[in-house]
């Protein structure tokens, strides 16, 4: 089976922060993959922008980014040379006017193309860049701006960022990117729910016992320790990625699959989350942890403080929390979220556990009847598993066992699974905002997260320690087990 490749309109991708990690690891490889797939018209150019005096050296950097982050089997010299012809560089500064006249002149050569300004920079520079895009005449009707997380560090700062961007670009031309929403499995959740008659009638509190969302990383903070210590897991992962996943699981069916219809329903979920706005509620429903030295990938690894180079820090590298949605569909159904660094595996998945059957007709010797589970895997192997009770084959009576109906996207469709950035950047070109966050979504998420941050900031107890290579502090286990449930540990 082959996937369809749909060409897009001619465009210019202007990457601010073009020498940074995101551009090297994700953006340039994503555009290379779309180029070799035949999806980029000839009239597509990529302009890297940063404050460094690189000029000709930038092409070499872009070349190395492809060689480092695209599998060797997919790179040929002719394809690489053809792609690099699209790439040029402008030296410009975000916080001064240096280089902006040259950028404006460069873009004047492409007046009829869509201009996508991708701000792969620190959020503190978003306002400065947008102000100059407006002042130098680069924010016209054919211009779109893409902003990366984090959008603020709390509700007040998020509003300030949104205001700064909104002064120059109207909301319909602002694309707040969350790469989790570009993952194939996340989008397949929409197809699973709304293109099949099987699940939606059961997608409510009458039939679902609870939902678990896990985003686990086996790595530590690596070279991001300075940034991470000002953010922590709640800001870095829960406020954006995990709440977006929760919204897609919990939202009502939209009237149609367009951007505002989908985002209207996600916003309702965020506004329906029961607040965790007191010491007692946070103590009962949240756990924060910080990893200590341990073992990962078969070797010893340092603790967070050693990686940070500090004697102490109250920044959490692990979060587990219990969220509840106060509406008719989900009343009484807990959503358990957990994320952390230095956990045993790199895995992201959503587990929907259905309620047990009301009565068993089988003898006890047949075995325990476990509830059905629907598992949507986001990484590393994107796919869907539906766990069902089945008879163990063979004579000797009825023996029941929980077995999965397993659909791996790679195995089912036998095509390369595009990276999220490949899809999302081209959605910007198409003007499709369905997989991007709207301003009111971002602010509603911060409105729920802020009280938790405030309670934690006032707490005298530090984050609970956990050993690297384990599933977090024991308090995270207690969080779910006192409700008579347990975390579902991933089976690869």
Q: Which residue has the tokens 């490749």?
A: 5
399 burial (CB, 10 Å; 0-12 / 13-18 / 19+) is middle
CB 483 within 8 A of CB 211: no
Tokens of 437: 């966050």
CA 132 to chain centre: 29
Is 241 known to be catalytic?
yes
Q: How many residues does the chain have?
A: 492
The CA distance from 107 to 84, in Å, is 18
- With CA atoms as reference, report the closest residue to 431 among 55, 115, 101: 115
Tokens of 335: 């959503």
- With CA atoms as reference, report the closest residue to 18 among 70, 71, 55, 73: 55
Q: Find residue 191's DSSP bridge partners.
A: none
DSSP β-ladder status, 318-324 and 174-176? unpaired
Q: Residues 6 or more apart from 492 whose CB is under 8 A from it?
A: 345, 381
For the residues of 206-219, what is the DSSP string, one character each?
TTEEEEEEEEE-SS
Q: Residues 6 or more apart from 105 whose CB is under 8 A from it?
A: none
Q: Which residue in the list 33, 115, 210, 241 is annotated as catalytic? A: 241
Tokens of 214: 């896990």
DSSP β-ladder status, 464-467 and 286-292? parallel
DSSP β-ladder status, 87-91 and 373-379? unpaired
End-to-end C-alpha distance for the chain, whole angstroms: 25
350 burial (CB, 10 Å; 0-12 / 13-18 / 19+) is buried
Helix (H, G, I), strand (E, B) or coil at 462: coil
- With CA atoms as reference, report the closest residue to 296 among 225, 378, 348, 221: 221
Instruction: For residue 398, report the phi and psi dihedrals to the nearest 5 degrees.
Output: -85, 115
How would you list the strands of the sheet with 334-340, edge to edge?
400-408, 383-391, 373-379, 347-354, 208-216, 334-340, 318-324, 286-292, 464-467
Tokens of 40: 């980029």
Q: Which residue has the tokens 């992962």?
A: 237
CA dihedral (423, 424, 430, 432) positive or negative: positive
DSSP assigned state of 330: T
Q: Residues 6 or more apart from 205 whose CB is under 8 A from it?
A: 328, 329, 330, 331, 332, 333
Residues designated as active site: 241
């Amino acid at each position: 089976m082959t996937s369809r490749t749909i060409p897009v309109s001619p465009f210019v991708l202007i990457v601010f922060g073009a020498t940074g990690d995101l551009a090297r690891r994700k953006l340039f490889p994503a555009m290379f993959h779309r180029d070799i797939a035949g999806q980029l018209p000839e009239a597509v150019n990529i302009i890297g922008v940063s404050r460094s005096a690189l000029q000709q050296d930038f092409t070499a950097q872009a070349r190395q980014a492809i060689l480092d982050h695209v599998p060797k089997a997919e790179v040929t010299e002719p394809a690489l040379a053809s792609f690099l012809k699209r790439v040029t560089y402008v030296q410009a500064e975000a916080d001064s006017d240096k280089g902006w006249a040259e950028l404006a002149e460069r873009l004047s050569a492409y007046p009829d193309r869509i201009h996508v300004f991708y701000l792969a920079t620190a959020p503190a520079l978003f306002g400065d860049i947008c102000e100059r895009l407006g002042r130098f005449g680069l924010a016209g009707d054919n211009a779109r701006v893409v902003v990366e997380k984090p959008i603020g560090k709390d509700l007040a700062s998020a509003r300030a960022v949104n205001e700064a961007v909104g002064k120059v670009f109207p909301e319909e031309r602002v694309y707040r990117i969350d790469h989790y929403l570009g993952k194939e499995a996340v989008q397949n959740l929409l197809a699973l729910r709304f293109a099949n008659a099987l699940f939606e009638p059961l997608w409510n509190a009458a039939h679902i016992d609870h939902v678990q969302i896990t985003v686990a990383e086996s790595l530590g903070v690596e070279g991001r320790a300075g940034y991470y210590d000002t953010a922590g897991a709640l800001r870095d992962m829960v406020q954006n990625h995990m709440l977006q996943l929760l919204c897609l699981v919990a939202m009502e069916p939209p009237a149609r699959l367009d951007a505002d219809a989908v985002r209207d329903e996600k916003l309702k979920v965020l506004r329906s989350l029961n607040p965790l706005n007191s010491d007692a509620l946070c103590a009962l429903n949240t756990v924060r942890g910080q990893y200590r030295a341990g073992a990962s990938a078969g070797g010893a690894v340092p603790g967070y403080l050693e990686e940070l180079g500090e004697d102490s820090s109250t920044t959490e590298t692990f979060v587990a929390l219990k969220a509840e949605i106060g509406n008719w569909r989900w009343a009484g159904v807990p959503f358990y979220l957990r994320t952390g660094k230095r956990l045993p595996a790199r895995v992201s998945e959503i587990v929907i556990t259905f309620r047990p059957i009301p009565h068993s007709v089988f003898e006890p010797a047949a075995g325990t009847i476990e509830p059905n589970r629907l598992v949507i895997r986001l990484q590393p192997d994107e796919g869907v598993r539906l766990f069902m009770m089945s008879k163990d084959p063979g004579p000797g009576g009825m023996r029941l066992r929980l077995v999965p109906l397993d659909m791996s996207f790679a195995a089912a469709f036998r095509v390369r699974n595009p990276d999220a950035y490949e899809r999302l950047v081209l959605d910007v070109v198409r003007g499709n905002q369905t997989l991007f966050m709207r301003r009111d979504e971002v602010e509603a998420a911060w409105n729920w997260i802020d009280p938790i941050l405030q309670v934690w900031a006032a707490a005298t107890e530090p984050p609970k320690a956990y050993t690297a290579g384990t599933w977090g502090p024991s308090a995270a286990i207690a969080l779910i087990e006192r409700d008579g449930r347990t975390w579902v540990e991933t089976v690869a």
